[in-house]
């Protein structure tokens, strides 16, 4: 029994220094771990390509399928991880709603310059974007950062088109309407990107930022970020 106890004590004496060293090393490595590796963003962007360009049909002079469009802008939520002193990678999601007139563009007598445009109804569209992003700091100080952002992903558009009743009634022939249902869905998904050559962030943990670029976050993109 005594021999067993002695062997256990000797084992503890031998093992303890290694355990102690391992704990100290862990504390040192933990203490030296850099802070601010994670950043959460909530922001708002205006004038996205889905708002500015969607509905344009090239090949006909200034012809759009939609007009008088309204758009409050794109709400954006982003998470980024800093994997080096200047570089960040992350994921972003945006939500954007649009509405306006749905147009009927008719070329009379085959003359592309004799274009007759009438409002045939209204549309409401919701755009969801999910994309991966990379950003790089040009300059970084205690209070501010200058940086660039690039992103690539997909946008899903969920649209509902509603004919005006007066326009829709013109399509009846022998009890059948050539326009189909008076209320229609027009959904599709497309590749989308974002590039902001200039971004500035002011603050430490809680920061205000402003980006100028083009893509799913708009031409002017601004909001708040929290680093932790």
3-class SS of residue 93: strand
What is the tens place of the pLDDT at every residue in 48-106? 988 887 777 666 555 678 888 898 899 999 999 999 999 999 999 999 999 999 998 88
**What does each C-alpha distance from 124 to 32, 55, 150 come to in angstroms?**
52, 13, 29
Sequence spans of domains, the chain: 1-33, 36-227
The CATH code that applies to domain 36-227 is: 2.40.160.20
Per-residue pLDDT of 101-127, as tens digits, reads 999 888 777 676 777 889 999 999 999
pTM as predicted: 0.78
Residues 6+ apart with CB under 8 A from 205: 36, 226, 227, 228
CA 191 – CA 155 distance, rounded (Å): 6
């Amino acid at each position: 029994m005594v021999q067993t106890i002695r062997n256990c004590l000797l084992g503890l004496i031998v093992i303890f220094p290694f355990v102690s060293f391992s704990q100290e090393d862990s504390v040192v490595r933990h203490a030296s771990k850099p802070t601010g590796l994670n950043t959460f963003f909530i922001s708002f962007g205006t004038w996205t390509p889905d708002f500015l360009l969607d509905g344009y049909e090239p090949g006909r002079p200034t012809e759009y399928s939609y007009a008088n469009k309204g758009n409050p802008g794109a709400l954006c939520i982003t998470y980024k991880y800093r994997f080096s002193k200047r570089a960040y990678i992350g994921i972003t999601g945006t939500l954007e709603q649009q509405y306006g007139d749905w147009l009927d563009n008719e070329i009379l007598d085959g003359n592309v310059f004799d274009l007759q445009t009438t409002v045939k109804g209204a549309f409401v569209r919701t755009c969801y974007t999910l994309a991966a992003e990379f950003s790089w700091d040009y300059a970084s100080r205690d209070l501010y950062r200058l940086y660039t952002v690039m992103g690539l992903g997909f946008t899903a558009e969920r649209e509902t088109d509603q004919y005006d009743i007066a326009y829709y009634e013109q399509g009846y022939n022998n009890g059948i309407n050539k326009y189909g249902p008076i209320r229609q869905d027009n959904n599709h998904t497309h590749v989308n990107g974002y590039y902001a050559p200039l971004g500035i962030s002011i603050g430490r943990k809680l920061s205000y930022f402003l980006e100028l670029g083009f893509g799913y976050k708009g031409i002017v993109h601004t909001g708040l970020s929290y680093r932790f």
